[in-house]
């Protein structure tokens, strides 16, 4: 059976990949195989990968909201758009949980022109600029022109010293982060020029999805027990992650939830944070 991927490419359906993705979300192999068996009668030649995902997601949600939240992590990160402002803040949190000092949205005067930076981080006495490229479409890729542009900005900034993290120091490293993927040429250029890249699945085994699952730093947008409107209201309060939601007083107050719904949401949150 053939399926149509988001990119439009037609490929053979591989049920082992579906089972693996369900297991990675926390489902047991027994549950993963049962879900595959339950959705197979609804599959047909030419079905889209998006439709397959939706069918599996609904079945998984009926078993475990927390596993369904992990399964929908990629969609949750894309929901931090459309402008990417929340994505920049989320990336700052990702660096923070890895032991970096973090500052977001600042202006610095380079050797030639001034620059607005998304995130500035410091660890082990090295200061790095982190520039974020948000895509609204999962089909989009960050091509080679973006790291070339970011490198030119970095080269203008690293000629000077700045007092940012309590003492005067230079920006010595540069990261480019995207919520989608990089083209092979973008990766080749970055490796050659010394830029550090971070995307959904790059570097291998240490991309955004791996970091999120390792540190349990899930965006609230992947929660299955909240509505889209409720998620937006929480984001406006700077409640970006599930951890924020559970550890800041009065975080649920503006949602005006029933006791039953509050219990279900907290149960999903606790299962995500205590995997």
> Is the bond into 82 cis (omega within 30 degrees of 0)?
yes
Strand partners, 168: 163
User: Do 166 and 236 sit in the same domain of this protein?
Assistant: no
Digit-coded pLDDT (tens) for 96-116: 999 999 999 999 999 999 999
User: Do 110 and 159 sit in the same domain of this protein?
Assistant: yes
State mean pLDDT over 117-132. Answer: 97
CB-based contact 6:139 (threshold 8 Å): yes
User: Do 98 and 204 sit in the same domain of this protein?
Assistant: yes
User: Do 133 and 174 sit in the same domain of this protein?
Assistant: yes
User: Do 99 and 206 sit in the same domain of this protein?
Assistant: yes
User: Do 196 and 145 sit in the same domain of this protein?
Assistant: yes
User: What pLDDT band is residue 81 in, cutting at 50, 70 and 90?
Assistant: confident
pLDDT over 90 percentage in the chain: 90
Q: 249 pLDDT exceeds 80?
A: no
User: Do 240 and 255 sit in the same domain of this protein?
Assistant: yes
Report how far residue 107's alpha carbon sits from residue 86's, in angstroms, rounded to the nearest whole number. Answer: 18
SS3 261: helix
User: Do 200 and 97 sit in the same domain of this protein?
Assistant: yes
pTM over 0.95: no
Strand partners, 179: none
User: Do 191 and 242 sit in the same domain of this protein?
Assistant: no
State mean pLDDT over 73-77. Answer: 96
188 to each of 2, 49, 143, 207, how far by Cα in Å?
A: 32, 29, 11, 17
CB-based contact 267:248 (threshold 8 Å): no
User: Do 224 and 210 sit in the same domain of this protein?
Assistant: no
User: What pLDDT band is residue 250 in, cutting at 50, 70 and 90?
Assistant: confident
Dihedrals phi, psi of 129, to nearest 5 degrees: -90, 140
Instruction: Please state which of the ranges 32-41, 81-90, 171-180, 186-195 shows the lowest mean pLDDT.
Output: 81-90
Q: 122 pLDDT exceeds 90?
A: yes
Residue 232 located in a structural domain: yes
Q: Which of 249, 192, 217 is CA-nearest to residue 92?
A: 217
pLDDT at 139: 85
Residue 175 located in a structural domain: yes
Residue 69 located in a structural domain: no
User: Do 24 and 141 sit in the same domain of this protein?
Assistant: no
14 to each of 49, 71, 81, 197, how far by Cα in Å?
A: 11, 17, 31, 29
Taking residue 29's Cβ as centre, other Cβ atoms within 10 Å add up to 11
Structure tokens at 81: 């758009």
Mean residue pLDDT of the chain comes to 95
Structure tokens at 29: 């192999």
Dihedrals phi, psi of 175, to nearest 5 degrees: -110, 145
Handedness of CA 21, 23, 29, 35 (dihedral sign): negative
CATH number, domain of 200, equals 3.40.1350.10
Strands (E) located in 141-265: 141-142, 161-163, 168-178, 181-182, 196-198
Range of the domain at 28: 2-63
pLDDT at 217: 97
Q: Which of 130, 135, 25 is CA-nearest to residue 79?
A: 135
Query: Domain count of the chain?
Result: 3
Report how far residue 155's alpha carbon sits from residue 161's, in angstroms, rounded to the nearest whole number. Answer: 13
């Amino acid at each position: 059976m053939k399926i149509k991927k988001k990119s439009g490419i037609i490929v053979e359906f591989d049920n082992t990949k579906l089972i693996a993705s369900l297991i990675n979300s926390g489902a047991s192999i027994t549950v993963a195989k049962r879900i595959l068996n339950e959705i197979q009668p609804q599959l047909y030649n030419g079905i889209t990968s998006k439709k397959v995902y939706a069918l599996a997601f609904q079945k998984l949600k009926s078993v475990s909201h927390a596993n369904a939240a992990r399964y929908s992590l990629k969609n949750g990160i894309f929901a931090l758009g459309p402008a990417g402002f929340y994505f920049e803040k989320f990336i700052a949190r990702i660096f923070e949980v890895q032991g970096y000092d973090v500052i977001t949205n600042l202006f610095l005067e380079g050797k030639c022109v001034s620059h607005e930076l998304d995130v500035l981080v410091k660890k082990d006495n090295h200061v790095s600029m982190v520039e974020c490229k948000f895509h609204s479409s999962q089909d989009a890729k960050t091509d080679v022109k973006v790291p070339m542009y970011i490198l030119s900005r970095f080269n203008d900034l690293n000629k000077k010293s700045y007092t940012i993290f309590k003492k005067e120091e230079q920006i010595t490293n540069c990261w480019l982060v995207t919520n989608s993927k990089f083209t092979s040429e973008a990766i080749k250029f970055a490796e050659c020029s010394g830029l550090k890249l971070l995307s959904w699945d790059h570097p291998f085994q240490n991309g955004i999805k791996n970091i999120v699952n390792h540190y349990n730093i899930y965006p609230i947008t992947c929660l299955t027990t909240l509505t889209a409107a409720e998620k937006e209201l929480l984001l406006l309060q700077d409640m970006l992650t599930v951890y924020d939601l559970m550890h800041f007083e009065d975080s649920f107050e503006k949602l005006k939830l029933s006791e039953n719904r509050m219990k279900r949401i907290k149960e999903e949150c606790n299962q995500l944070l205590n995997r």
